Chain A
Amino acid sequence: QTVVTQEPSFSVSPGGTVTLTCGLSSGSVSTTSSPSWYQQTPGQAPRTLIYSTNTRSSGVPDRFSGSILGNKAALTITGAQADDESDYYCVLYMGSGIWVFGGGTKLTVL
């Protein structure tokens, strides 16, 4: 079974830029995987940041951007702020109506 991979943790300095990635244990991520990104803080529902590779959800600041980098989907956060400290999840479309989440990345801003 194909696994969706994410960095377990990442840290960024305030004001800095960080790129989180979302890959496949076998194969490459492309736009047909329709990668999406979600931010979640403890006890809260996820918040949609990016869907369809690079479409920002309503109200999401342009500090957040999505792309394909090499064989992975990527979420780039520029000008990191303290309240960006959260868990970040990607999800990929596997075909036949099936979606699979990555394990999530815990982002620390320090």
Chain B
Amino acid sequence: QVQLVESGGGVVQPGRSLRLSCAASRFTFSSFAMHWVRQAPGKGLEWVALISYDARHKYYADSVKGRFTISRDNSENTLYLQMNSLRPEDTAVYFCARSPSPLDAFDIWGQGTRVTVSS
């Protein structure tokens, strides 16, 4: 069935960088916008970023704007999140999610990858 699998999480020191990946399978990845959503320990869900199907349009939450970059490689069916200048408050499980159509949120989710920012 349709699947999203995140990877790239880990423990990183404040101020350092990390790149997350989300591998998509069993659907036409290049036809769908994609999101990143995160969840800090014991907290609710927070939308992080959105990229259009063709990567022409990218949008970010204020909390990550200027530090995180969303991108995609449609030839590799992969979504990315480059996270720079990481802060302890970026500690969370990061989920990628598919947008079923323009102006719709998410239908398919990955299982998440954990990022811990700590010295």
Contact = CB atoms under 8 A, between A and B. Distances in A.
A4 B109 CA distance: 22
B11 interface: no
- Interface SS of chain A: helix, strand, loop or mixed? strand
B88 interface: no
B45 A51 contact: no
A58 B27 CA distance: 15
A36 B105 contact: yes
A57 B107 contact: yes
Nearest to B103: A34
Contacts of A93: 103, 105
Interface residues of A, number: 25
Nearest to A94: B47
Interface residues of B, number: 24
Contacts of A104: 44-45
Given A45-B95, A48-B106, A91 B111 contact: no
B104 interface: yes
A1 to B, nearest CB: 8
Interface of B: 35, 37, 44-47, 50, 57-59, 61, 95, 100-101, 103-112
B59 A46 contact: no
Dominant SS among interface residues on chain B? loop
Given A34-B103, A52-B104, A96-B59, A101 B109 contact: no
A57 B108 CA distance: 9
B104 A34 contact: yes
A77 to B, nearest CB: 19
Interface of A: 34, 36, 38, 40, 45-48, 51-52, 57-58, 87, 89, 91, 93, 96-104
Given A89-B44, A104-B45, A99 B108 contact: no
Contacts of A34: 103-105
B59 A101 contact: no
A45 B39 CA distance: 10
